[in-house]
């Protein structure tokens, strides 16, 4: 993986994790936790979008996919924690 793409993945992961934490009313995990949630959310979002027959491309599409996946991930974590 190139350095530029690694940096892009980390930035998108951090933004997606932060957005998901903000939208889910404070369920963020700090900067490193948000990056992890965003990256895992990107994979989950890609699976969900594929299952629904949706596709998103480009920087904004990647951010939307990762954020949706991160929101779903935070929702599932919230259910498990209860």
Which residues span the domain enclosing 55? 3-81
Closest CA relative to residue 38, chosen from 18, 54, 58, 55:
18
Distance CA 79, CA 71 (A): 12
The mean predicted confidence, pLDDT, of the chain is 86
pLDDT digits (tens, 9 = 90+) for 22-76: 888 766 677 788 888 888 998 999 999 999 999 888 889 999 999 999 999 988 8
DSSP string of 24-58, one letter each residue: TTS---HHHHHHHHHHHHHHHHHHHHHHTT----H
> Number of structural domains, the chain?
1
User: What does the DSSP 8-state code read for residue 64?
Assistant: H
pLDDT digits (tens, 9 = 90+) for 15-34: 998 899 888 876 667 778 88
pLDDT at res. 21: 86
pLDDT at res. 52: 94
pLDDT at res. 1: 57
pLDDT at res. 56: 85
């Amino acid at each position: 993986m190139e350095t530029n793409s690694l940096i892009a993945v980390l930035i998108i992961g951090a933004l997606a994790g932060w957005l998901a934490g903000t939208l889910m009313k404070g369920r963020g995990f700090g900067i490193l936790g948000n990056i992890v949630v965003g990256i895992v959310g990107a994979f989950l979002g890609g699976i969900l979008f594929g299952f629904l027959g949706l596709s998103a491309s480009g920087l904004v599409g990647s951010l939307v996919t990762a954020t949706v996946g991160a929101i779903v991930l935070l929702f599932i974590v919230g259910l498990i924690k209860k």
